[in-house]
């Protein structure tokens, strides 16, 4: 905008770090990666085509799931490659600059924040835990445990059709209430255990079944920032709660280490209202 556009393409920013990045790690994943050094920070970038990433084309491409899949994978792998040897600040997918000067100006503008962030993120890893609930299984278990429900069950079997119908209704209602109560309890206990070791915790919006492609419902979408020497303890805790609740209908999806995507925007704490 302020300077002439570089004819040879746009600059795609993946992440920044304060150590000389090992580009060899990502040379087979990203097309000609390089870094821009500015005021003690290294920005890992590459050139991308205007025909793909300028404003108009980017908008069009964002409607193309295949394109997003391919490009988001490159974005992720590039940052993970650099992350092997250095503490990184990951940028959001498709952070694009017209010129090197514009990128440097951005670095200067946020220098203090970035430096503070790199200190905060040093020797830490992001891990994600998504918890899902199979409500059928949860309820099945409840019936076995709950005396009141067991009694209703017996009564239903020995009742005339009319009464049995009403009892079934009552059973359903009680079961739903009990299931909700249990789910809150399991979720809370799990979450309380999960946050024992991490230094940072973030709860994200729940994703619908259409996006998760699972039959069970997501009940917690969380991210944790953990000291590297505490990751083992954290994973043991995940195994603990997994052992405790899997038979009761919960499923724990624990992934990591991720670039610290969830811990780079202190101002963006609440994502629910996004």
Q: Which of 6, 23, 29, 149 is the binder for another protein (CB under 8 A)?
A: 29
89 burial type by CB count under 10 A (0-12 exposed, 13-18 middle, 19+ buried) = buried
148 near another protein, rule: CB under 8 A:
no
189 near another protein, rule: CB under 8 A:
no
Q: Which residues contact 200 (CB under 8 A, 6 or more apart)?
A: 124, 224, 225, 262, 263
211 burial type by CB count under 10 A (0-12 exposed, 13-18 middle, 19+ buried) = exposed
42 near another protein, rule: CB under 8 A:
no
Q: Dmax over Cα atoms in the chain, in whole Å?
A: 85
Residue closer to another protein (CB basis): 33 or 90: 90
First to last CA, the chain: 28
176 near another protein, rule: CB under 8 A:
no
142/149 Cα distance (integer angstroms): 8
Residue closer to another protein (CB basis): 50 or 197: 50
Q: CB of 67: closest distance to another protein in angstroms? A: 10
The DSSP line for 44-85 is EEEEE-HHHHSHHHHHHHTT-HHHHHHHHHHHHHHHHHHHTT
Q: CB of 146: closest distance to another protein in angstroms? A: 16
112 near another protein, rule: CB under 8 A:
no
Residue closer to another protein (CB basis): 194 or 260: 260
Q: CB of 233: closest distance to another protein in angstroms? A: 19
Q: Which of 38, 52, 95, 235 is the binder for another protein (CB under 8 A)?
A: 95
Contact predicate 130/220, CB 8 Å: yes
Length of the chain counted residue by residue? 274
122 near another protein, rule: CB under 8 A:
no
19-43 core/surface letters (b: 16 or more CB in 10 A; e: else): eebebebbeeebeebebbebeebbb
255 near another protein, rule: CB under 8 A:
yes
Count the residues of the shown chain that bind another protein, applying the rule CB under 8 A: 63
Chain residues binding another protein by CB under 8 A are 1, 10, 13, 29, 53-55, 58-59, 62-63, 65-66, 68-70, 72-73, 75-77, 79-80, 89-98, 102-103, 106, 110, 128, 134, 137, 140, 204, 207-208, 210-213, 221, 246-247, 251, 253, 255, 258-259, 261-262, 264-265, 268, 271, 274
């Amino acid at each position: 905008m302020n300077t002439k556009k570089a004819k040879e393409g746009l600059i795609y920013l993946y992440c920044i770090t304060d150590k000389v990045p090992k580009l060899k790690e990502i040379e087979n994943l990203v097309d000609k990666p390089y870094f821009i050094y500015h005021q003690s920070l290294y920005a890992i970038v590459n050139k991308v085509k205007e025909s793909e990433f300028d404003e108009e084309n980017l908008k069009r491409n964002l409607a193309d799931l295949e394109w997003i899949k391919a490009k988001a994978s490159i974005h992720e792998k590039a940052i993970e490659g650099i992350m092997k040897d250095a503490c990184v600040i990951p940028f959001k997918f498709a952070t694009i600059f017209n010129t090197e000067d514009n990128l440097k100006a951005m670095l200067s503008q946020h220098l203090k924040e970035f430096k503070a962030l790199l200190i905060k993120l040093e020797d830490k890893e992001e891990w994600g835990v998504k918890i899902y609930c199979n409500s059928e299984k949860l309820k099945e278990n409840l019936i076995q445990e709950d005396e009141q429900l067991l009694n209703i069950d017996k009564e239903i079997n020995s009742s005339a059709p009319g009464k049995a119908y009403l009892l079934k209704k009552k059973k359903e209602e009680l079961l739903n209430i009990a299931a909700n109560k249990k789910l809150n309890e399991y979720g809370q206990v799990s979450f309380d255990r999960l946050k024992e070791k991490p230094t940072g915790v973030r709860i994200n919006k729940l994703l619908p079944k259409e996006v998760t492609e699972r039959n069970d419902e997501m009940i917690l979408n969380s991210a944790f920032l953990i000291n590297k020497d505490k990751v083992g303890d954290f994973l043991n805790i995940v195994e603990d709660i997994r052992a405790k609740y899997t038979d009761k209908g919960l499923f724990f999806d624990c992934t990591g280490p991720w670039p610290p995507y969830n811990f780079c925007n202190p101002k963006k704490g609440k994502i629910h209202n996004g």
